[in-house]
Amino acid sequence: MSTLKKVRKAVIPAAGFGTRFLPATKAQPKEMLPIVDKPVIQYVVEQAVEAGIEQIIIVTGWHKRAIEDHFDRHFELEAHLAQANKKEELEAVRKISELANFVYVRQKEALGNGHAVLMAKDVVGDEPFIVMWGDEFFHAQPSAVKQLIQAYEQYQGPMIAGVRVGEAEVSRYGIADVTAVKDNVYKINRIVEKPETGKAPSNLATHGNYLLTPDIFKILETMPPSRGGEIWLPEAIDRLIKKRDVFALELKNAKYYDCGNKLEYLKAVVEFGLKHDDLKSEFAEYLKNIVK
């Protein structure tokens, strides 16, 4: 029996135009929108690293240079902070580039999120890997990525993060038709993408974080484009389900933040502002007065 390979790599597709946030995203990637004092994608990367991920593969486009610059060294800024004796700020800035080994792959055409994942094939190689999106994340303890890795090590199959949603929300997500395995682990029979209210096979939404095995690449390579002329990762996973067991892991103590949605982004800013040590007291008082 072959030894199970360690999960060391994460792929973050981040090549989209972010049209829901125009005009803010005309010259700024949506992944770089700040939640208080950190861009969304930094929260994503930090959670991957906290779970033991060593290499971050970001799939970008020509208009996403700001992401690469953010995770690179900025010697002029560091020198300025050192000269001003701003040690805390200097440490925070330096830490960003030291989080992981960053690799950038260009997606030259907008051909879907499945195509974006396929662009990372040569860097991922023959290893299991995490897929995360650059504009959304879970706040969980332990992190969603860590929970997925622990479940993968036990069940040795692809794992998709799952969260329960209300009936009114099922039409926003891919909803899994599942068979219970043990505790919070389920075998996925199929995924119904954005079902109508009342027609969903369950209320378990599977999205956000994926732990995939390299056999997904063969499927992505041979899939014809579907809706919108694009290749979609959920459709590739549906094909993978027909070949092997794919699991859903219902996350524990997890809250999902969809920062690609204006309202949900604003909620994330408020909630993280209320957790921020330097701001929470004054900010809470301000919000109370606004409500009045």
Identify the band that residue 188 occupies on the pLDDT scale cut at 50, 70 and 90: very high
- Give the C-alpha separation, 186 to 166, whole Å: 19
Q: What is the mean pLDDT of residues 178-199?
A: 88
High-pLDDT (> 70) share of the chain, %: 99
pLDDT of residue 250: 93
Q: What is the mean pLDDT of residues 175-202?
A: 88
pLDDT of residue 292: 74
In the chain, domain spans: 9-260, 262-292
Q: What is the mean pLDDT of residues 116-143?
A: 94
> Using an 8 Å Cβ cutoff, are 94 and 178 in contact?
no
> Using an 8 Å Cβ cutoff, are 134 and 17 in contact?
no
The CATH topology of domain 9-260 is: Spore Coat Polysaccharide Biosynthesis Protein SpsA; Chain A (3.90.550)
pLDDT of residue 156: 92
Handedness of CA 270, 274, 279, 284 (dihedral sign): positive
The torsion angles phi and psi of 116, rounded to 5 degrees, stand at -60, -45
- Give the C-alpha separation, 33 to 39, whole Å: 5
Tell which residue, 103, 37, 95, has the closest CA to residue 67. Answer: 103
Q: pTM here?
A: 0.92
Q: What is the mean pLDDT of residues 155-179?
A: 89
DSSP 27: S
pLDDT of residue 191: 87
pLDDT of residue 2: 57
Task: Answer with the residue of higher pLDDT: 165 or 212.
Answer: 212
> Using an 8 Å Cβ cutoff, are 231 and 221 in contact?
no
Nearest 10 degrees: CA dihedral of 258, 106, 36, 136? 10
Identify the band that residue 1 occupies on the pLDDT scale cut at 50, 70 and 90: very low
pLDDT of residue 203: 87
How does strand 55-60 pair with strand 101-106?
Answer: parallel
| 3-class SS shares of the chain: helix, strand, coil, % to 5 | 40, 25, 35
